[in-house]
Amino acid sequence: MISVLFANFEVNQMIDKNKKIGNKIFAKYMVKAE
């Protein structure tokens, strides 16, 4: 049970990191597009 919660926490952190990276790439793309 605890290990499942910990695994979910790790997955959520990975998703959060990917969102931040994606937002940075998106911001760069938007600047180029203008």
Residue 5: both structure tokens together: 């919660």
Helix/strand/coil for 1: coil
**Has residue 1 got a pLDDT over 80?**
no
pLDDT band at 18 (very low <50, low <70, confident <90, very high): very high
**Has residue 13 got a pLDDT over 80?**
yes
Question: Which of the pair, 33 or 24, is modelled with greater confidence?
Answer: 24
pTM here is: 0.57
What letter represents residue 22's amino acid?
G
What letter represents residue 6's amino acid?
F
Strands (E), the chain: none
Please report how many Cα atoms fall inside a 13 Å half-sphere around the Cα of residue 21, on the Cβ side: 6
